Amino acid sequence: MSSVHETHSVRAPDGRTLTLSEGGDPDGVPVLVHVGTPSGCLPYQPHLEDAARRGIRLIAYDRPGYGGSTRKAGRNVADCTADVVAICDALGIERFCAWGVSGGGPHVLATAAFLAERCVAVASLASIAPIDAEGLDFTAGMGKSNVESFEAVLAGEETHRARHEQDLQDLLGTTPERLVEVWGSLLGPADREVATGEVATFLLDNATAAVTPSSAGWFDDDIAFSKPWGFEVSSIQVPVLLMHGEQDLFVPYGHGLWLAEHIPEVDARLSAEDGHLTLPERRIGEVHAWLVERFVAGGP
Q: What is the pLDDT of residues 184-240, one digit of tens each?
A: 999 999 999 999 999 999 999 999 999 999 999 999 999 999 999 999 999 999 999
pLDDT surpasses 90 at 267: yes
Answer yes or no: is pLDDT of 5 > 90: no
Assign 1 a pLDDT band (cuts: 50, 70, 90): very low
* 119-125 sheet: strands from edge to edge: 5-11, 17-24, 56-61, 29-34, 96-101, 119-125, 240-245, 267-271
pLDDT reported for residue 257: 98
Domains along the chain?
5-297 (3.40.50.1820)
- How confident is the model over 271-294, as pLDDT tens digits? 999 999 999 999 999 999 999 999
Percentage of residues in the chain having pLDDT higher than 70: 98
pLDDT of residue 61 exceeding 70, the answer is yes
Residue 34 has pLDDT above 50, yes or no: yes
Task: pLDDT band for 300, please (50, 70, 90 cuts).
Answer: low
Q: Please name the amino acid found at residue 290.
A: W
Q: Report the mean per-residue pLDDT for the chain.
A: 96
Model confidence pTM above 0.85: yes
Q: Strands (DSSP E) along the chain, which ranges?
A: 5-11, 17-24, 29-34, 56-61, 96-101, 119-125, 240-245, 267-271
What is the average per-residue pLDDT within 1-14? 84
Largest CA distance in the chain: 51
